[in-house]
Amino acid sequence: MMLKAAGNTGLLNEIETFTKSFGVVNKCDFGTFTIDKYIQLINTAVDKSEQEIRGDGYYSIGMPPDTMADYLHRIWGYNSEVQVITGGTGGNEDGIIGVSKGLMKLYDGLCHYMYRLNGKIYSWGQIFGSVTEANSAYHVCRLIKPGFPR
């Protein structure tokens, strides 16, 4: 809604395109995703339990790297920097790391974000010692380094 209010159709279009690129995931067809349908879905969440929301894959959204950096700036005040990483673990810098299995088309195959802090990887409520430990098929394709708050 913040992006709509700001008239930022560029980032909104990137979100739609990226989310659509996921196609069918666990019986959810994201091929027809639109921002407006997503907003309608979120508005119905008021009457749902956390368990219902977590169990419904349609509450997912694809966040392109620049949109993730924009979110960190708008919501948390961080002036984030997006770096393109070519394969491997992407070093050991703290930040949000975008990973790829090489299957997706956009953003060098970006399919998931994890958080790296002090050499630990945080993903889906679990802590791992490395990207490979989290999933041996993953390699890092993006690093979003949160800058200092404004």
Q: What is the pLDDT of residues 80-116, one digit of tens each?
A: 999 999 877 888 899 999 999 999 999 999 999 999 9
- CA angle (56, 35, 25) in 5-degree steps: 40
CB 57 within 8 A of CB 25: yes
Indicate the DSSP class of residue 48: S
Backbone phi, psi, residue 31, to 5°: -65, -20
pTM over 0.85: yes
Q: What is the pLDDT of residues 12-50, one digit of tens each?
A: 999 999 999 999 998 999 999 999 999 999 999 999 999
pLDDT band at 150 (very low <50, low <70, confident <90, very high): low
Backbone phi, psi, residue 121, to 5°: -110, 130
Distance (Å, rounded) from C-alpha 91 to C-alpha 47?
43
Distance (Å, rounded) from C-alpha 72 to C-alpha 77?
6
